[in-house]
Amino acid sequence: MGKRVAETERKYEAAEQTGEPDLDGLPGVADVRVLEPAELDAVYVDTPDLRLATHKITLRRRTGGDDAGWHLKLPTSQADTRTEVHAPLGKQGRKGPRVPKSLLAEVAAIVRDRELVPVVRLRNTRKRLHLVDAQGAPLLEIAHDHVRATVPDHGADGPESTWTEVETELLDGDPALLDAVEKRLRAAGLRRSTSPSKLARALGDRLTAAPRPPSPPSSTGTAGDAVMTYVHEQVAAIMSWDPQVRRDEPDSVHQMRVSTRRLRSAFASFRRELDREATDPVGDELKWLAGVLGLERDREVLAERLRDRLAELPDDIVTETLTARIGGDAPVHEGARKELLRELAGPRYFRLLDTLEALLADPPLLDAAESPAAPAVAEAVSRDHRRLRRRVEHALRMTPGHERDLVLHDARKAAKRARYSSEAAQAVPALRKPAKKHTQRMKAVQQLLGEHQDSVICRDAVLRLASDAREAGEDTFPYGVLYQLERDAAAAAENELPKAWPASDRGKLAG
């Protein structure tokens, strides 16, 4: 992936007749260094319907200056700050410059398989100065920009618009320096720009008229509002984790997979508020996506658990052959990752994202969605809890063995659903406190049942590894020890359940 940096900057325009700002006596500033002017030429690319710009993202290829190359700017939650991702200029293709794959991966969940085309060309004469400290290190840059913007029209540049603006960018100084400089700029007749970026100013009415991403409900007064607030959160999470999965960030696959499960679970929990004819097909696709993500995630979890168990074995039975067989799955990992990335670049995944976006824009709400949020959502949470209770109590009546393992696995899935619906309930002010407690109780049950299920899966893996070792003429005794360790772990979880369940089967939302 490209180089990532945080960029903190502010833009200003003339409010009236302006003069030169007084930059003397700024805190921590020892001198003002004037730099050579630069001629910058940037082409901004986007989808024809400006999907990047409406998500407050810019992607450009700029020549000139000391940072020529591709620049992707992504919004952050911090004021005046964006994440900037750099990539080299690269080579020209027959149809013009090609967007680097590293940058495409950052915005794939938004662009999907739509074409990227030039939408604005900005030519800028930039005059810069640096505020430096006593050692000569630059703290802040002030740039005076004379901008000429053209919007391509059928392959040719359209009419040119021009303006001037001032940009301040924090380099290595204290953020308070931005405020101190702003006071000087305001005193000189400048004000904060009314446009968030040069691109937005150049696009003007075209950007204003572009379709916007769906917004979550402004309140949670009705059951439908509460449900759709949670649905929005999960779709946003999937979109947010997507580029991190592509960058192979730690835990990203797991978190994206959890978001798909939360969303699918919400469709099931709130079936009285959401039309199942619309949500069931989406749920099926989410199940497919969770499976795609699981190709790598399940392998990671199993490999980590096997390594932990291996560390518990006596040194005298741990051989290089055993260690290699337990941990020698790198090719499997690489294959699973390639398959995952292939699916995330495919039409099925992109159409799922399109469908989710359409669902947010036009929620498939039933009449019950108009009910007051608190009682309707509380009933959904209680209904999920009662479902969990039936499964746990059934399992507790059974004797240990394969059939009980299956029932406990079903109980684990029910615990997840109960946890997720109580998470959704936290959006309703009247339910926030009891829902938070209920979520914690359901999480505890889920983790206990998850430990049991992980042991079941690990035992199956140990048996497969032992079979492979036997065929290769290797000693299988260590695998028997590993298997017994996992049996003990499962038994411990089963023994804990009768004591842990009563502590969770209580509270306002237990039903």
The number of C-alpha atoms within 13 Å of 277 and in the hemisphere containing its C-beta is: 3
Nearest to 59 by CA among 2, 128, 10, 142: 2
What domains can you pick out in the chain, each with its CATH number? 3-209 (2.40.320.10), 223-504 (1.40.20.10)
Q: What digits encode the pLDDT tens for the residues 355-411?
A: 999 999 999 999 999 999 999 999 999 999 999 999 999 999 999 999 999 999 999
Rounded to the nearest integer, the mean pLDDT of the chain is 93
Query: So what's the pLDDT on residue 93?
Result: 64
249 Cα distance to chain centroid: 11
pLDDT band at 261 (very low <50, low <70, confident <90, very high): very high
Q: Quick one: what percent of the chain has pLDDT higher than 90?
A: 86
Whether 437 has a pLDDT exceeding 70, the answer reads: yes
Query: So what's the pLDDT on residue 173?
Result: 83
Query: So what's the pLDDT on residue 3?
Result: 77
Whether 332 has a pLDDT exceeding 90, the answer reads: no
> Do β-strands 38-46 and 58-63 pair in parallel, antiparallel, or remain unpaired?
antiparallel
Q: How far apart are CA 424 and CA 499, in angstroms?
A: 27
With beta carbons less than 8 A apart as the criterion, state whether 425 and 378 touch: yes
Q: How far apart are CA 398 and CA 412, in angstroms?
A: 16
pTM of the model: 0.91
With the CA atoms of 498, 499, 505 and 508 taken in that order, what torsion angle do they form, in degrees rounded to the nearest 10?
170
With beta carbons less than 8 A apart as the criterion, state whether 126 and 42 touch: no
- The values of phi and psi at residue 366, to 5°, are -95, 175
Q: How far apart are CA 404 and CA 413, in angstroms?
A: 14
With beta carbons less than 8 A apart as the criterion, state whether 245 and 384 touch: no
- Name residue 163's beta-bridge partners: 147
To 10 degrees, what angle do helices 373-396 and 402-425 make? 170
Query: So what's the pLDDT on residue 156?
Result: 64
